Amino acid sequence: MTARPPAGAGAPFGARLAAAMDDHGPLCVGIDPHATLLADWGLTDDAAGLATFARTVLDAVAGRVAAVKPQAAFFERHGSAGLAVLEEVVAAGRETGTLVVVDAKRGDIGSTMGAYADAFLRDGSPLAGDALTVSPYLGFGSLGPAVDLAHATGRGLFVLCLTSNTEGHEVQHARTQDGPTVAATMAAHAAALNAGERPLGSVGLVVGATVGDAAERAGVDLVRVNGPLLAPGVGAQGAGAAELARVFGGARRQVLASSSRGVLAAGPDVAGLRAAARRAADEAAAALR
């Protein structure tokens, strides 16, 4: 395993992610310590349980997949003790050289967004991984402080565009007063920020692997985005190789497929988790080749 330079000290996130996907395949393993999974793994539903859960996932997959994605909500539900574990997960993940995408879906008016950016994207912040998921539904421009800090520190963003849940269409497929859909507008903003970047820009989109032909219907040009496409929905939400191929078509080289429960169900055995992640990575690679 090659240790990669951490954010802030090396290439921009898009380039680091492209290299990680070349090395390990296009899979991100979600670290989602659901109460039910903790129970299935024989762990307590508290900070100690979270810590063991996350450490086990990292033992199994760090250095073997392109990225891990701790879901902040499952840590936040345990208050400050849970957040302390999230900090440990971010630090431990980054020490292994595996990219860490913090899935916190932050979004607020610009002045408050500056504080979120400081928390999740500033060098030295204990919650700063390599990339952060953000919500643009207060207007893409409200993400400005996060865009600026991500750019300054070599970190990345994944902007919610076409989410994997069935309810997303009422917002994302709605038309703006200028005509294009909301999703297409968000994608166009990301494309403008990524223009000219090689091999990939650092402002990615979240596009669920479950969305079928939604990109086409919403007029979202995924190739033009020229940034990474985080594709949750693989595994427990029902998407597999066929769905990945269908949703992403010509943009498939940009895709980082993401699976949480689909891999985590194989735990707590480290070898079982590792094999499940390998299988998921190989399937995603074959679908996106």
- Which residues contribute to the site for ligand LLZGTKA7 (CB under 6 A)? 30, 32, 71, 103, 163-164, 206, 208, 232-233, 235-237, 258-262
Instruction: Give the nearer residue to ligand LLZGTKA7 in terms of CB position, either 15 or 256.
Output: 256
Residue 208: name the closest of 256, 175, 176, 138 by CA: 256
In the complex, the smallest distance separating the C-beta of residue 104 from ligand LLZGTKA7, rounded to whole angstroms, is 10
Coil, helix or strand for 274?
A: helix
Instruction: Give the nearer residue to ligand LLZGTKA7 in terms of CB position, either 101 or 128.
Output: 101
Instruction: Give the nearer residue to ligand LLZGTKA7 in terms of CB position, either 15 or 229.
Output: 229
Q: In angstroms, rounded to a whole number, what is the distance separating the alpha carbons of residues 212 and 164?
A: 10
Coil, helix or strand for 32?
A: coil
Kindly name the residue from 64, 105, 106, 278 that is annotated as catalytic: 105
In the complex, the smallest distance separating the C-beta of residue 125 from ligand LLZGTKA7, rounded to whole angstroms, is 21
Coil, helix or strand for 109?
A: coil
Distance between first and last Cα of the chain: 23
In the complex, the smallest distance separating the C-beta of residue 185 from ligand LLZGTKA7, rounded to whole angstroms, is 17
Q: Is 69 a catalytic residue?
A: no
The residue ranges of DSSP E strands in the chain, in sequence order, are 27-31, 67-70, 99-106, 131-134, 156-162, 203-207, 229-232, 255-259
Instruction: Give the nearer residue to ligand LLZGTKA7 in terms of CB position, either 164 or 202.
Output: 164
Q: In angstroms, rounded to a whole number, what is the distance separating the alpha carbons of residues 12 and 20?
A: 12
CA 180 to chain centre: 26
Residue written as token pair 């100690």: 48
In the complex, the smallest distance separating the C-beta of residue 206 from ligand LLZGTKA7, rounded to whole angstroms, is 5
Residues designated as active site: 105
